[in-house]
Chain A
Amino acid sequence: MALSPRYVLRETGQNLWRNVLSSAAAIITIGVSLWLFGGFFLFNYAVDNATARWEGGIEFVVWMQPDATAEQDANIRDSIDTSPAIKEWIYVDQSQTYEEFREIFADTPELIEVVSPDVLPPSYRVVPENPDADVVAELSDQFVGRPGVEEVVSADQTIRDIQRLADKVTRVFLVGSVILLTAATLLILTNIVSAIRSRGAEIEIMKVVGATNWFIRVPFMLEGLVQAVLGAMGAWVGLRVLDDTVIKGLSEPDSLQLMQGFRVDQGEFYSTSLLVLGIAIVVSGIGSAVAVTRYLDV
């Protein structure tokens, strides 16, 4: 009673080949929609990574010198702690900074090897009461050049602008990909329905000689699955290119200082790829389930 793999492959292959053009249309649509969908995730990861330091309302960071004395440190801490303009603050010590550093440079172990916690600067990450750019600038200026302070970096308007822009752009990606995914589902559905229609005679014979439902259905469902998986593979290539060119390009060391850390690490890339494959399988599952249950009654 087992489905012979030879039979299933032959039938699925014939179905796909009979409608190469519409199969290609479905594959391309799935590919592009999944690419946009994956791109949404990659950009979000990259923006998160780039602005990680600036989350939770942190508007500026006071980087201490690694060899600042305890007295210098206490001095700065006291000013921050007592300032009425500062809502809250976090102290990130050298080992925590090292952890951050390791995360950011996970892909370049050479770099991690030559760095040890004691050469990294500890920092105060400051959340002011008033996030207005001018107020923040004035506040952060008070720490510039004080003994033990290496530098003061603020998340000025530009970062916020980038976050907002990235938000908008990725939202367009998401909406576009959802619309295209719907189109892809419908394309898979119509492809399977037209395959079912063009094989009406075969299906009638199959039913009359006692082929099981699953035997009749599986080749059609597999057709949808193959289209979706091929689309997902196309999307992977597209996402690789997106990561290698656009995202890596934006974080090139000599481009905008602000875009440093705008990157996607391996784990994030692979989980996005898996997600894309999962969505492909779900989409083809919906398309073929509707097709075989609505148009292939027994």
Chain B
Amino acid sequence: MIKLNNVTKVYKGTVVAVRDVTVDIAKGEFVFLVGPSGSGKSTFIRLLNREELPEHGTIYVAGKDIGTLGTWRVPFLRRNIGFIFQDFKLLPKKTVAENVAFALEVIGKPRQVVRKQVPAILELVGLAEKIDNFPHELSGGEQQRVSVARAFVNRPPILLADEPTGNLDPQTSVGIMKLLDRINRTGTTVVMATHDRSIVDTMRRRVIELDRGEIVRDQARGVYE
């Protein structure tokens, strides 16, 4: 599903954020990216989404070499990738339902599809009651659920999350992780960067540790360390 071959990413010609990384992530895997601040976790994730292009190496996502993908095809690549932000990035003037619907509208989904899928996904993330609330009327955990719903409403095969629990307390984080776990069990590949030791240690999934841009550990059913 995701394959990196000798990938190196250099910012501004000097900062090596990712160094000669080779890794293979199969369909349906759940992968934690860990490592100290500045080790290149966010860069790794942005490379998968083609927000960044590598200086060296090739990246395959969903069977496509995304380095040779024409600019006009990037949006179609991204329709296969859900993205969850640390700070939710909900649109404050739209309700919960509108925020989720927006993700479908802007890729041209017909109205009937939007009307069917939005309530269904909000049901899945446990927010059926809050459908007409605005983001500021929700707790942080609820806002992150909306953001997960928005990322997953189009049922992408891949979900990327950059510290999705970074702004949440431990209790609430557990709820979000249960949700991501459920989504993963439907066959969705999940790659998640995190600093949250207890989450990694309880979930016992594959752990890839980065240090100064290099993979220093790749462990099945691993721990945070």
Q: Give A residues with C-beta under 8 Å from B.
A: 1-4, 6-7, 201-202, 204-213, 215-216, 298
Contact = CB atoms under 8 A, between A and B. Distances in A.
B74 A298 contact: yes
Contacts of A211: 75, 106-107
A2 B77 contact: no
B79 A215 contact: no
Interface residues of B, number: 25
A199 to B, nearest CB: 9
A215 B108 contact: yes
A4 B79 contact: no
Given A1-B108, A210-B75, A204 B89 contact: yes
Q: Is the interface of A mostly helix, strand, loop or mixed?
A: helix
Contacts of A298: 71, 74
Contacts of A4: 105, 108, 110-111
B108 A209 contact: no
By CB atoms of chain B within 10 A, which of A205, A209, A212 has the most?
Answer: A209
B60 interface: no
Contacts, number: 59
A82 B150 CA distance: 94
Given A4-B105, A7-B105, A212 B78 contact: no
Contacts of A2: 108
B154 interface: yes
A210 B81 CA distance: 9
B76 A210 contact: yes
A205 B103 contact: yes
Given A3-B108, A205-B89, A208-B49, A213 B103 contact: no
A214 B60 CA distance: 26
11 contacts: A1-B108, A4-B105, A4-B108, A7-B105, A7-B106, A205-B89, A205-B106, A207-B75, A209-B106, A210-B77, A212-B75
A209 B89 contact: no
A208 B106 contact: no
Contact of A201 (B72, B80, B89, B106): B89
Nearest to B108: A1
Nearest to A206: B106
By CB atoms of chain B within 10 A, which of A2, A207, A216 has the most?
Answer: A207
B134 interface: no
Contact of A202 (B76, B83, B91, B107): B91
By CB atoms of chain B within 10 A, which of A207, A210, A211 has the most?
Answer: A210
A86 to B, nearest CB: 70
Given A204-B89, A205-B91, A298-B74, A210 B79 contact: yes
B134 to A, nearest CB: 14
A106 B102 CA distance: 57
Contacts of A215: 106-108
Nearest to B71: A298
Contacts of B108: 1-4, 215
A213 to B, nearest CB: 7
Interface in B75-129: 75-81, 83, 89, 91, 102-103, 105-108, 110-111
A210 B78 contact: yes
Given A205-B89, A205-B91, A210 B107 contact: yes
Nearest to B83: A208
A211 B102 CA distance: 10
B71 A209 contact: no
Given A1-B108, A298-B71, A298-B74, A209 B154 contact: yes
Given A4-B105, A205-B103, A206-B106, A212 B72 contact: yes
